[in-house]
Structure 1
Amino acid sequence: MSSDPLDDVFNLEDRFYTQGYTQGVEDGARAGRIEGRSFGMEKGFEKFLESGRLAGKAIVWANRLPKKTAKQKDASEKSSEACTLPPLPSNPRLEKNVKLAYALVEPDTLSTDNSDEAVQDFDDRVKRAQGKVKIIERMLN
C-alpha cells in the first residue's frame, strides 16, 4: 500500500486554508480598488473645493481693486452703483498679491491629471495661494 487512505483527511485543513486565502486576496483586491477610487474622488473633491474657494476670494478682491484710468473710472462708477462692497485701498502690493493668488488657483490652469507630478504641482500651487490669501487678509485688517 503506497498511499494512506486518510491523507486526504489530514490535508483537509491545508486545502481549506489555501482556498480561503486565495478567495480573500481576490475579494480584497476588488474591494481595495473600489475603496481606493472612492477615497481618491473624495480627496480630489476636497482639494478642488479649496482651490475654488481661494479663487472665489481672489475674484471678489480683484473686482474691489480701485480702477486706474479714466476710461475704467467711468465704467466703475456705473458698476459701483450695483456693488455693495466698498473698494479696497489703493496699494500696488495688495494688487500684486491678489492677482498672483488668483493666477495660482485659476481653474483653467490647474491640472486634474492623476500623475505624481500633476498632483504635486496642484498641491504646491494651492499651498502658495493659501499663503497669499493670508497675506492679503492681514493687509486688509
Structure 2
Amino acid sequence: MSSDLFDDVFTLEDRFYTEGYNQGVQDGARAGRIEGRSFGMEKGFEKFLESGRIASKSLVWANRLPKNPQPGGASDEKCSEACTLPPLPKNPRLEKNIKLAYALVEPDTLSTENSDEAVQDFDDRVKRAQGKVKIIEKMLS
C-alpha cells in the first residue's frame, strides 16, 4: 500500500512533462499555421513585386524602341514632343530581348496557384526574365 501512496509523487514529473509537451504541440501547430501564412504572404508579395518591376521596365523599354516608318513618310512628331526619354538604338536583338522579358512576366500569364508546379513555373519565368533584364542593361550601357 505504501508504494501506491508514492506512485503519484514519483510520476509527477513525467505527468507534468507529458502535459506540457502536449500543450506545446497544440500551441506550436496553431502558431505555425499563422506564421506560415504570414511568411507565405510576404514571400508571395516579394515575388510579384519583382515580376511587376521587370514588367514595368520592359514596357518602358518597349515604348522607347524606334518606331517603324509610317506609310506615306509621316513622322511620329506627337511622340517626340510628348516623350521625354530618348529612343533606344535600333537593334533587332535588343528588341527581341525586351519583348521576351515582358512575355516571361506578363501579369495575365503568371499563375497565382499555390501548387508545386505553378510556383516552380513562376520562379523559373522570373529568373529567366531577370537574366534577360541583365542582358538588356548590358546592351544599353
Q: How would you bin the TM-score normalised by the shorter chain? A: over 0.9
**C-alpha displacement of 1:75:** 7.5
Rounded Cα–Cα distance in structure 2 between residues aligned with 1:97 and 1:121: 20
Indicate how the Cα distance of structure 1 residues 74 and 54 shifts in structure 2: closer, same or farther if over 3 A, else same: farther
The TM-score, its normalising length taken from structure 1, stands at: 0.93
Q: Cα–Cα, structure 1 residues 101 and 74, in superposed 2: closer, same or farther, change >3 Å?
A: farther
**Counterpart-to-counterpart distance in 2, 1:133 and 1:24:** 48
Q: Supply the distance in 2 between the matched residues of 1:17 and 1:75 (Cα, whole angstroms).
A: 83
Alignment of 1:1-141 (within 5 A): 1=1, 4-71=4-71, 74=74, 76-141=76-141
Where 1:113 maps in the other structure, the secondary structure is coil
- In the superposition, relative to structure 1, how do residues 128 and 67 fare at CA in structure 2: closer, same or farther (>3 Å)? same
- Compared CA separation, residues 75 and 51, structure 1 to 2 (3 A): farther
**d(CA) in 1 for partners of 2:105, 2:8:** 66
Moved more, 5-14 or 94-103: 5-14
TM-score of the aligned structures, taking structure 2 as reference length = 0.93
RMSD over aligned Cα atoms: 1.7
After superposition, the Cα gap between the structure-2 partners of 1:97 and 1:32, relative to the gap in structure 1 and judged at 3 Å, is same
Q: How far apart, in 2, do the equivalents of 1:75 and 1:26 lie?
A: 71
CA distance in 1, matches of 2:3, 2:94: 89
Structure 2 counterpart of 1:59, which letter?
L
Alpha-carbon spacing, 1:38–1:75, altered in 2? closer, same or farther (3 Å)? farther
